[in-house]
A = this chain, B = another copy of it.
Amino acid sequence: MITISTLAKRSGLSRTALLYYDRLGLLKPFRRNRSGYRLYSSSEANRLEQICLYRKMGIPLREMKKLLDVPGNNVLVEILQRRLHVLDHEISDLRKQQRSIWALLKQKPLQQGEQMIGKERWIEIMHAAGFKDQDMHNWHIQFERMEPEAHQEFLESLCIPKDEVTKIREWSRERGA
């Protein structure tokens, strides 16, 4: 039987987080002592481990309750897949934000500390590694054929503007056909 701050330290969460979980009904203490202190057993510690796991995945606390109380496997997979999609969108939103900032900073005096890798730099690396233009063309064609979505994502990650990405992909599909 351990108290709330001990459990907090062991789990790496804050005491207030555990208080909050109690209020939500997500993690109730095993019992209280006579002066009202929360006491947790190893069973709660295990439950908290699961909670931490889901927390790392960004699962909302209300979803966790469902997962922990009804250990339906289908529900878990479904929730995780939904979360993957949300993450995809969030990441691409943040990338868009980065690109907006880069676009604005480029007009300003050249930034120096910020290294980021764009199309030109990528091509340099490929050349330095001995790849010819023809190799890169083939590579686009195969990438588009095998993983079109990932191809799009990759091109966007190099800060290539949207219309150029579209062109490259269309070009790849024509050649690949």
Contact = CB atoms under 8 A, between A and B. Distances in A.
Contact of A146 (B98, B108, B128, B138): B128
20 contacts: A56-B97, A57-B101, A58-B97, A80-B101, A81-B114, A84-B114, A87-B94, A87-B97, A87-B101, A115-B149, A116-B150, A117-B150, A125-B142, A128-B142, A128-B145, A129-B139, A130-B138, A131-B131, A131-B139, A135-B135
A121 B147 contact: yes
Interface of A: 53, 56-58, 73, 76-77, 80-81, 83-84, 87, 90-91, 94-98, 100-102, 104-105, 108-109, 111, 113-117, 121, 124-126, 128-131, 135, 138-139, 141-143, 145-147, 149-150
Contact of A81 (B58, B111, B135, B141): B111
Contacts of A141: 129
Contacts of A149: 115
Which of A113, A125, A150 is packed against the most chain B CB atoms within 10 Å? A125
B147 A125 contact: yes
A115 B84 CA distance: 11
A67 to B, nearest CB: 11
A117 to B, nearest CB: 4
- Please provide the 6 A-B residue pairs with the shortest distance between their CB atoms, ordered closest to farther: A129-B139, A128-B142, A129-B142, A129-B138, A117-B150, A58-B97
Nearest to A79: B101
B77 A105 contact: yes
Contacts of A84: 98, 101-102, 114
A45 to B, nearest CB: 20
